Amino acid sequence: MDATVDLRSLPNRRHIPSHPFIDMLRRSVAFDFFAVSGLDFDGYRFGSGLSIDTNVPPAYLDAYYGDGLLAVDPFVKASMSAVDVVIEERVYQKEPPPERILYLARTFGVLNRTLFPVRRGDILFGAVTFSRSNAFTDCELHFLGDVAEVTHKVLTRPIMEKFSAQTLRLSEGELLCVKLASFGKTSEEIAEASGYAPDTVNTYIRAATRKLGAKNRGHAIAEALRRGLIS
C-alpha cells in the first residue's frame, strides 16, 4: 500500500495471510477465515465490494465476485440492514442461497459465515465476518461482537490514516488546528502555537467540522480521532 498514491488505485481486495492482531484474536476464539469489509468513505462502504482485507482464498473471491454473487447472496442482503450479528445458517433458513454459493463454500471451506456490522450512527460503513467449519457458540459470538469494531479499526487504520485527509479534502492547516484543539487549546492558544491568526484558526476549524460531517468542534475532534486523521 505504501506505493498507492490515492484511494482509487488501492486494490479492492487485499489478501492478508497473517496479521498480529488477528493471530492474537484467533487464540481467544478459533476461526478459519476472516474478512474486514468497508471504509467510512462514500462509495467504499460495506456492500460495495471495494474494500476487503481478508485471508479468504483469492480464488474463492475471484469466483464469487466474477459470478456476480454479491448481488444475489441472501447473507449480504440480510447484512445490509443489520444492527446485530448476522449468522449464515439462520439467513439460509429463511432464504436459500443459489447453489453456486453453496458450491464455493464447500469447495473452499468458507463455512458458517458470521457477520458483525460496524456503524457510525445510522450509517453501516463496515463489517467484520468470521467463518469456520462448525458454528460459533453463544459465548464466542458475544466475544467476537465485542471486538468487531476494534478489529475493523486495526485492520483499516493504515488506509484511513493515509487517505482520510485526502478523501475528505482536509488541508494541512485544518488538520493542524483540529489536532491542536484536541489538546484542549483555545483558538487563541492554537493561533499562538501555529502562527495563524485567530480568525484563520476559527475558519480552519469550521471548515474541518463541515468536511467531517460534525456538529461542533468537539464532535469534529472525535471524528478526526476515529478516522485516524490525528492521534
The C-alpha cell at 139 is 459465548
- CA gap 213, 201 in Å, rounded: 18
Q: How far is CA 141 from the centre of its chain?
A: 19
Residue 219's domain is classified under what CATH number? 1.10.10.10
Burial of 82 (0-12, 13-18, 19+ CB in 10 A): middle
For 7, 54, 136, the CA distances from 195, given in Å and listed in that order, are 32, 44, 56
Given a cut of 80, whether residue 176 has pLDDT beyond it is yes
Residues 121 and 158 reside in one and the same domain: yes
Residues 126 and 179 reside in one and the same domain: no
pLDDT tier for residue 3 given thresholds of 50, 70 and 90: low
How many structural domains comprise the chain?
A: 2
pLDDT of 110 reads 97
Residue ranges making up the domain that contains 176: 169-226
The set of long-range contacts for 81-86, using a CB threshold of 8 Å and a minimum separation of 24, is 81/124, 82/115, 82/117, 82/124, 82/127, 83/117, 83/119, 84/117, 84/145, 85/114, 85/115, 85/116, 85/141, 85/144, 85/145, 86/114, 86/115, 86/116, 86/117
Q: How far is CA 190 from the centre of its chain?
A: 32
| Beta pairing partners, 119 | 124
Q: What's the pTM value of the predicted model, to 2 decimals? A: 0.82
Task: Kindly state the helix (H) or strand (E) to which residue 123 belongs, with its residue range.
Answer: strand 123-131
Q: Per this entry, what is the length of the chain?
A: 231
- CA gap 36, 20 in Å, rounded: 15
Residue 60's domain is classified under what CATH number? 3.30.450.80
- With respect to residue 114, please indicate whether it lies within any of the assigned structural domains: yes
Which residues lie below 8 Å from residue 9, measured CB to CB, with a gap of 6+? none
- With respect to residue 231, please indicate whether it lies within any of the assigned structural domains: no
For 4, 133, 168, 203, 227, the CA distances from 161, given in Å and listed in that order, are 13, 35, 12, 23, 7
Of 68, 90, 69, 64, whose CA–CA distance to 78 is shortest?
90
- With respect to residue 2, please indicate whether it lies within any of the assigned structural domains: no
For the chain, the average pLDDT equals 92
pLDDT tier for residue 4 given thresholds of 50, 70 and 90: low
Given a cut of 60, whether residue 188 has pLDDT beyond it is yes
Contact 140, 148 (CB under 8 A): no
Residues 59 and 148 reside in one and the same domain: yes
- CA gap 149, 6 in Å, rounded: 25
pLDDT of 1 reads 58
pLDDT of 91 reads 97
The C-alpha cell at 189 is 492558544
pLDDT of 168 reads 82
pLDDT of 2 reads 59
